[in-house]
Amino acid sequence: MNKLKYLFKDQKAQISAEMIILIAAIIAIVLVVVTQLQKTTTKANKTVDDKADDVFKQIEKID
């Protein structure tokens, strides 16, 4: 009976270790995705600012 209890505890520990590894992998993937989204947003923001500046320069030329 004690061996059976030991087996169940060992399996629970194995499942817990696998869950920790899985959660760590998911967190790493989320961090990579968030970082890439931030880079993309920064590039898009710069592009919009540049285009807005170009538009205002063109408007100033009209006057």
> What is the tens place of the pLDDT at every residue in 1-50?
566 666 566 677 777 888 999 999 999 999 999 999 999 999 999 999 99
From CA 50, how far away is CA 60, in angstroms rounded? Answer: 15
User: Alpha carbon 9 to chain centroid distance?
Assistant: 34
Task: Please list, in sequence order, all residues whose beta carbon lies within 8 angstroms of the beta carbon of residue 38, skipping any fewer than 6 positions away.
Answer: none
For the chain, the first-to-last Cα distance in angstroms comes to: 93
Task: State residue 30's pLDDT score.
Answer: 98
pTM above 0.75, yes or no: no
Structure tokens at 58: 């063109």
Widest distance between CA atoms in the chain: 93
